[in-house]
Amino acid sequence: MLDDFHYARAQSLEHALALLEEHQPRARVIAGGTNLLVNLRGGRDRPEFVVDVSRLGDELGRIQRRDGSLEIGSLATLTDVARSEVLLADSAARLLALSAREFANPLVRNRATIGGNIIDGSPAADAVPPLLALDARLRLVSRARGGRVVRLADFYLGYRRSVLEPDELLVAIEVPAAEPRTGCGWYKLGLRQSDAISIVSAACVLTVDGDERCANVRIGLGAVAPTVVRATAAERVLTGARLDEPSIQAAGNATSEEVRPISDVRATAAYRRLMSGVLVNRTVRQALRQATGEQANGR
Amino acid sequence: MDVELILNGEKVRVPVRRHSQTLLELLRDEVGQTDVKEGCGKGDCGACNVLLDGKAVNSCLVLALQADGCSVVTLRGLGSGEQLHPIQTAMIEHGGIQCGFCTPGMVISLAACLQENPSPSRAEIREAISGNLCRCTGYHKIVDAAESAAAEMRGEAGDRARARLL
C-alpha cells in the first residue's frame, strides 16, 4: 500500500498548470505512472499532491510533422512513438521509433510517455539518447511565465536534475526534419532482450556529403555518465572524415577513452567503457548504411 | 470517492479508499476480482496485466482514479468455467500452465496480441509476452499455445465454434 497524497485530475493544460503553480514544489505530475508509482512504492518519492495529466492526450499526445520539423507531444506513449508513421517516414526521426520498440516491455510502453521518460531523467532513459542525437528541443510551459524552449542538450544539470521549474510542464518535443543523405542507428545493450535497464545505449544520426564524407554526426550515449551524454570525441573524429573502417574504429576507440561510467549491479565500468566503443562503432555503421544506400522509410 | 468502470462488459461503481490505491488493489480488494494477480506490484512481472480500454497494461501502475470511465477486461472477461477463451483452452492443451500464477496476465497479453495481429509469428508472440515473467514453463509451450489459439481463432482448426473476440 502506498502512502497517500492529494490528487487532482487536470481537465486541460491550463488546469494542469494552475494546479502545479498552486501546489509547487510539493506536487508531482502523473501521466503513465510507470516511473512515479514505482518510485512511490520504493519510498523514493513522497509527493503531497499528484496532478494527473493522463487525460490530456488529445491535446498533448500527438505526433505530427510541420514545416521543417517533427513535433512529439509529451504525452505520446512509447507505443505511439514506436508505431508512428510520421516518425518512421523521416530518415533521422525514425531513430526514436526504432528505439521505442525496445523500451521496457509492451505493457509499460502502452502507458509510459516520452515526456515522463525525459523528466524522470535517468542516465539510462532510453528515449533520451535518440533525442540528443536528433538535437531535440523541449517546450516547457508554466502559468506564471508562459512557454520557453530549451535544447535537450542544455536540459540536464546532473544526475536526475534538470532546469525544469516546479511549476512547469513539458508539453512537446521538437526535432528537425532530416537532411538528405541522413541515416540513423540505435543499439541497446541490456542483460536480456526485453524489459532491461540499459547497460549502455547508443543512438547515432549521421549525414553524408557528396564525397561520402561525414557532413554531420551526433551520437547520444546512455548509462555511461550521470546523465545521457553526447559522444563528443567520436563526433570530432568523424566530422569531415571519410567514413571508412579506420575512422569508424577510431571513433569507437575515442569513445572508450572519453567515457567515465560507473560499476553497478548490471556491469563494471571497464565493460561499459569497452561496450560504449563497440556500440558507437555499430550505430555509426547502421547510420552510414542507411544514409548511403537503403530507403529512408520502411521498417 | 469512487470510480465507474466497465468491468468485463458490466458497468460498476466501485469505492476508492485512497488516492494512492492502484487499479490492481481496487480490482482485488474492492471488487473481489482475484483473477488479477499481484506478482511484484511494481510493473516488473506482468501478472497483474488487464486490458484498459483495450490495451494491455500493468494494473499495479495505474491509479484506480485514472481508470474512471474506462473499460477493464480481466481474465474472466475473456472466458471461464464452461466458456473458455480459445487461448485458455490452448494453454491447457499445450501445457502452457504449471503453477498458474503468471497465467492470467499471460492470457491477457496474448489476447491483446491476437486482437491486433491474428497471424503472429513466434517472434511476435514472444514480443507480446515480453512483459510477462514465467518461472515455471520456459515459455515454449505458452508460445505453442498462442500459435494454436491463433489458428483456432482464424477458423483454421476445424469444427470448434468461433471464439468470442474482445
B-chain residues near A108 (CB < 8 A): 43, 58, 61, 131
B123 and A CB contact within 8 Å: no
Q: CB A65: neighbour CB atoms within 10 A?
A: 14
Picking from B16, B18, B38, B63 by the largest number of A CB atoms within 10 A of its own CB, the best residue to mutate is B63
| pTM of the complete model beyond 0.90 | yes
Nearest CA in chain A to B47: A107
Residues of chain B with pLDDT under 70: 157-166
Closest CA to A47 of A15, A7, A18: A7
Question: Distance (Å, rounded) from C-alpha B149 to C-alpha A154?
Answer: 51
Closest CA to A176 of A65, A29, A59: A65
A83 and B CB contact within 8 Å: no
**What is the full DSSP assignment across A239-272?**
TTSB-SHHHHHHHHHHHHHH------SS--HHHH
Residues B116-140: pLDDT tens digits? 999 999 999 999 999 999 999 999 9
Residues A165-183: pLDDT tens digits? 999 999 999 999 999 999 9
Closest CA to B91 of B57, B139, B48, B127: B139
Alpha-carbon distance values, B109 to A32, A55, A212, B103, B116 (Å): 18, 24, 46, 10, 11
Q: What is the mean pLDDT of residues A202-227?
A: 96
Q: Which of A33, A52, A105 sits opposite B131 (nearest CB)?
A: A105
Q: CB A10: neighbour CB atoms within 10 A?
A: 21
Long-range pairs of B26-34 with CB within 8 A, sequence gap ≥ 24:
B26/B64, B26/B67, B27/B59, B27/B72, B27/B74, B31/B7, B33/B7, B33/B74, B33/B76
Distance from CA of A54 to the nearest CA of B (A): 7
Q: A107–B63: do the CB atoms touch at under 8 Å?
A: no
Picking from B4, B19, B107 by the largest number of A CB atoms within 10 A of its own CB, the best residue to mutate is B19
Closest CA to A52 of A10, A13, A17, A20: A10
Q: B127–A6: do the CB atoms touch at under 8 Å?
A: no
Closest CA to B51 of B77, B31, B18, B33: B77
Distance from CA of B45 to the nearest CA of A (A): 9
Contact A202, A221 (CB under 8 A): yes
Sign for the pseudo-dihedral over CA of A233, A238, A243, A246: negative
Q: Which residue has the cell 508505431?
A: A83
Alpha-carbon distance values, A247 to A243, A288, A290, B70 (Å): 6, 12, 18, 55
pLDDT for res A156: 98
Distance from CA of B25 to the nearest CA of A (A): 8
pLDDT for res A210: 86
Q: Which of A37, A42, A54 sits opposite B22 (nearest CB)?
A: A37
**Residue % of chain A over a pLDDT of 70:** 98
Mean pLDDT of chain A: 95
pLDDT for res A294: 55
Contact B144, B126 (CB under 8 A): no
DSSP state of A33: -
Picking from B30, B66, B68, B102 by the largest number of A CB atoms within 10 A of its own CB, the best residue to mutate is B66
Q: A4–B60: do the CB atoms touch at under 8 Å?
A: no
Contact A177, A87 (CB under 8 A): no
Question: Distance (Å, rounded) from C-alpha B72 to C-alpha B155?
Answer: 27
Residues A21-30: pLDDT tens digits? 999 999 999 9
pLDDT for res B71: 98
pLDDT for res A187: 98
**What is the full DSSP assignment across A170-193?**
EEEEEEEPPPTTEEEEEEEE-SSS
ipTM score of complex: 0.93
Closest CA to A169 of A147, A153, A154, A196: A147
Question: Distance (Å, rounded) from C-alpha A32 to C-alpha B4?
Answer: 19
Distance from CA of B50 to the nearest CA of A (A): 9
A146 confidence band (pLDDT: 50, 70, 90): very high
Q: B19–A6: do the CB atoms touch at under 8 Å?
A: yes
The torsion angle over the Cα atoms of residues A206, A207, A209 and A213, rounded to 10 degrees, is -10
Q: Which of B21, B44, B62 sits opposite A33 (nearest CB)?
A: B62
Contact A77, A112 (CB under 8 A): yes
B-chain residues near A83 (CB < 8 A): none
Closest CA to B87 of B159, B8, B7, B166: B166
Contact A272, A225 (CB under 8 A): no
pLDDT for res A1: 75
Q: What is the mean pLDDT of residues A121-140?
A: 97
pLDDT for res B127: 97
**What is the full DSSP assignment across A274-291?**
HHHHHHHHHHHHHHHHHH
B-chain residues near A38 (CB < 8 A): 42-43, 61
Q: Which of A7, A54, A106 sits opposite B128 (nearest CB)?
A: A106
C-alpha cell at A20: 502545479
Nearest CA in chain A to B1: A7
pLDDT for res B163: 44
Q: What is the mean pLDDT of residues A198-203?
A: 97
